[in-house]
């Protein structure tokens, strides 16, 4: 059998730990898909459309470290690129692979189908360059190994998406076999001199403060530093808070954990202890309008030390080219044997409000959000992953108490409603051993609903809580109008549509606590496919945090243009 460009690509994907890749077929990628099918241990998983294909690969990357989506030219790739923008925003190495026009057509003046109708097909690569850390076009087999390796290596290093387009007549051309994976997995080491100085500066920053606190941000997983952060917390002894988008990136049962720091909508006691601290070690934060609650909670200034993935800034000095894991290890070694800096923890234990008991609703009363959240909480185990969609699902997820090992997946930087349906699918493909729970608003679900059919197809026992509050409640809280009302669907009834003649998905509608409990029991018992539980609640029945946060974000949005 001839070894081909498509084989090379497929083998590299397998070498970096992919067991699956997501695809939608089209004539520009059919031969490539044939080649990929021939790679041992690499399964081809199909999606209903390319936006979902991109988000499936994104969800897969969350569970598996990297993902790949294969689509056709323009009509497919331009949809997938939205999800690639999301992967960039969310720091996930997703490789987007697009079939492309025949190499003989490039520069020929020919007009081809699936293009904008001009003979220049370069626009897709140009767009991809803006949304990825590496974008390459392969029009000859000779260049393929170098270009493929460049794209994949850069994506893995940067934890950002990459783009590879392959002319449709090139993927079956002969190509050398790839060498060991080390060549694309190896990373440049930290600069030793910079590393030492960065650690010195951080140690000085800590030494000069009596009441430091740690703030964990959303890129900690991408930095590969979740365990290191726990050890740093153990060494320092201070309080640890997480940013909203970093929910579950620090164990919630850790004695130093004080919950989510999110300005006015922080966990009880977290904002107070944060404000009391005299120095903040910010690990991989992303400060945007949402995470700072409309710029009202934005840690900056001399009392903030930034510990980013490759960059440290403290005491008025900045250091680049160091890996966070090396910095943390060095800092731990430096702090060993010193007295703990546990003032914030001592104080937090004093001021922490007692936990309010969670009320159980009358089982026959109309379902309310709080009861819905209480029942979902009861499902969380150490092997649960909760995928929470944009909307009040974010705030419901934030209030959950996670057992050690439970994960929450959020897409707070990109914030594409509908992301969670395909991302849940991709996540479930990557981690079939976990209990996977999706919380999705009705409005969000309507964007990408059809991907539930792929969960049916692969018999994935995902549990979907579809919150039917008759509209875009998050938008209602930010700025209301007729555009926030949506057409109601028979969401539970959709499962029959997706099952068709061979599926085992189940759909239930819950209008009371008792109905929800019954549906959950059936969902847990269903191992042959997804279960969608439509939770019917009032349009205004949302968390108080959504209301407070929505008001602040709306105020930030409404700032008039500055007078220049």
Residue with tokens 């009441």: 211
Measured from the CB atom, the residue of 456 and 542 that comes closer to Mg ion is 542
Both tokens of residue 250? 């620090």
CB of 418 to ligand TPU, least distance (A): 6
CA 228 to chain CA centroid, Å, is: 21
**Treating both helix axes as pointing N-terminal to C-terminal, what angle do 50-64 and 420-430 enclose, rounded to 10 degrees?**
50
Does residue 467 bind ligand TPU (CB under 6 A)? Answer: yes
Is there a contact between 8 and 144 (Cβ–Cβ < 8 Å)? Answer: yes
CA–CA separation, 86 and 178 (whole Å): 30
Is there a contact between 486 and 472 (Cβ–Cβ < 8 Å)? Answer: yes
How many CB atoms are closer than 10 A to CB 123?
13
Per DSSP, the three-state class of 495 is: helix
CA atoms within 13 A on the CB side of 287: 15
User: Does residue 471 have a known ligand-binding role?
Assistant: yes
Looking at the DSSP bridge assignments, the partners of residue 439 are 388, 465
Measured from the CB atom, the residue of 20 and 389 that comes closer to ligand TPU is 389
Measured from the CB atom, the residue of 51 and 305 that comes closer to ligand TPU is 51
CA–CA separation, 388 and 12 (whole Å): 32
Measured from the CB atom, the residue of 284 and 390 that comes closer to ligand TPU is 390
Instruction: Determine which residue in the list 91, 469, 512, 543 makes contact with ligand TPU, applying CB under 6 A.
Output: 469
Does residue 443 bind ligand TPU (CB under 6 A)? Answer: yes
Measured from the CB atom, the residue of 67 and 391 that comes closer to ligand TPU is 391
Measured from the CB atom, the residue of 312 and 421 that comes closer to ligand TPU is 421
User: Does residue 469 have a known ligand-binding role?
Assistant: yes
Interacting partner of 390 out of ligand TPU, Mg ion, none (Cβ under 5 to 8 A depending on kind): ligand TPU
CB of 479 to ligand TPU, least distance (A): 11
Instruction: Determine which residue in the list 119, 366, 403, 415 makes contact with ligand TPU, applying CB under 6 A.
Output: 415
Does residue 391 bind ligand TPU (CB under 6 A)? Answer: yes
CB of 312 to ligand TPU, least distance (A): 33
Eight-state DSSP code of residue 209: -
- What are the DSSP calls for 226-248, one per residue? HHHHHHHHHHH---EEE-GGGTT
Instruction: Determine which residue in the list 250, 319, 427, 472 makes contact with ligand TPU, applying CB under 6 A.
Output: 472
CB of 554 to ligand TPU, least distance (A): 13
Both tokens of residue 399? 């209030």
Interacting partner of 269 out of Mg ion, ligand TPU, none (Cβ under 5 to 8 A depending on kind): none
Q: Kindly determine how many residues on this chain lie close enough to bind ligand TPU according to the rule CB under 6 A.
A: 18
Contacts of Mg ion in 441-480 (CB under 5 A): 441-443, 469, 473
Is there a contact between 237 and 342 (Cβ–Cβ < 8 Å)? Answer: yes
Pick the closest to residue 462 from 498, 412, 487 (CA basis).
498
Interacting partner of 171 out of ligand TPU, Mg ion, none (Cβ under 5 to 8 A depending on kind): none
Sheet containing 311-314: give its strands across. Answer: 257-260, 240-242, 212-216, 279-283, 304-307, 311-314, 317-320
Interacting partner of 444 out of ligand TPU, Mg ion, none (Cβ under 5 to 8 A depending on kind): ligand TPU
Q: Tell me how many helices (H) and strands (E) the chain has.
A: 21, 19
User: Does residue 442 have a known ligand-binding role?
Assistant: yes
CB of 159 to ligand TPU, least distance (A): 23
Site of interaction with Mg ion (CB under 5 A): 441-443, 469, 473
Output the known binding site for Mg(2+). Answer: 442, 469, 471
Site of interaction with ligand TPU (CB under 6 A): 389-393, 415-417, 441-444, 467, 469, 472-475
Output the known binding site. Answer: 442, 469, 471
């Amino acid at each position: 059998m001839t070894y081909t460009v498509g084989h090379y690509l497929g083998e590299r994907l397998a070498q970096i730990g992919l067991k699956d890749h997501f695809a939608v077929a089209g004539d520009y990628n059919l031969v490539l898909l044939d080649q990929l099918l021939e790679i041992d241990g690499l399964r081809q998983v199909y999606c209903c459309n390319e936006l979902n294909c991109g988000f499936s690969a994104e969800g897969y990357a969350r569970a598996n470290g990297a993902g790949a989506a294969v689509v056709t030219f323009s009509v497919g790739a331009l949809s997938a690129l939205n999800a690639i923008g999301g992967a960039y925003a969310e720091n996930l190495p997703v490789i987007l692979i697009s079939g492309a026009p025949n190499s003989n057509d490039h520069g020929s003046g020919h007009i081809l189908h699936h293009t904008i109708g001009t003979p220049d097909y370069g626009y897709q690569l140009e767009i991809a360059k803006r949304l990825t850390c590496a974008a390459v076009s392969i029009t000859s087999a000779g260049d393929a190994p170098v270009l493929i390796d460049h794209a994949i290596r850069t994506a893995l290093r940067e934890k950002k998406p990459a783009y590879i387009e392959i002319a449709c007549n090139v993927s079956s051309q002969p190509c050398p076999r790839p060498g060991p994976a080390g060549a694309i997995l190896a990373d440049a080491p930290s600069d030793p001199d910079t590393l030492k100085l960065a650690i010195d500066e951080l140690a000085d920053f800590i030494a000069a403060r009596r009441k430091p606190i740690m703030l964990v941000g959303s890129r900690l997983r991408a930095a590969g530093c979740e365990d290191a952060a726990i050890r740093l917390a153990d060494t320092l002894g201070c309080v640890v808070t997480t940013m909203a988008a970093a929910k579950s990136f620090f164990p919630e049962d850790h004695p130093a954990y004080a919950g989510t720091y999110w300005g006015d909508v922080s966990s009880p006691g977290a904002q107070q202890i944060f404000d009391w601290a005299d120095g903040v070690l910010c690990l991989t934060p992303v400060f945007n309008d949402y995470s700072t609650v409309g710029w009202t909670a934005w840690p900056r200034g001399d009392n903030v030390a930034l510990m980013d993935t490759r960059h440290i800034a403290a005491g008025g000095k900045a250091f680049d080219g160091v890996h966070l894991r090396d910095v943390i290890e060095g800092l731990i070694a430096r702090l060993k044997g010193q007295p703990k800096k546990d003032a914030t923890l001592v104080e937090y234990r004093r001021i922490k409000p007692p936990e309010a008991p969670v009320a159980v609703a009358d089982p026959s009363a109309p379902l309310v959000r709080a009861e819905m959240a209480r029942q979902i909480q009861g499902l969380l185990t150490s092997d649960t992953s909760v995928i929470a969609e944009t909307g009040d699902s974010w705030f419901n997820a934030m209030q959950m108490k996670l057992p050690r090992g439970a994960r929450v997946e959020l897409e707070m930087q990109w914030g594409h409603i509908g992301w969670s349906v395909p991302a849940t699918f991709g996540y479930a493909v990557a981690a079939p051993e976990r209990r996977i729970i999706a919380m999705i608003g009705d409005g969000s679900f309507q964007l990408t609903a059809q991907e539930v059919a792929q969960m049916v197809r692969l018999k994935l026992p995902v549990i979907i809580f579809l919150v039917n509050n008759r509209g875009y409640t998050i938008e209602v809280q930010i700025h209301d109008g007729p555009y926030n009302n949506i057409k109601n669907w028979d969401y539970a009834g959709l499962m029959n549509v997706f099952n068709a003649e061979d599926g085992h998905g189940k759909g239930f509608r819950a209008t009371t606590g008792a109905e929800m409990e019954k549906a959950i029991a059936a969902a847990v018992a269903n191992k042959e496919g997804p279960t969608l539980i439509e939770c019917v609640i009032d349009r205004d029945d949302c968390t108080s945090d959504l209301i407070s946060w929505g008001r602040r974000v709306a105020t930030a949005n409404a700032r008039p243009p500055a007078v220049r």
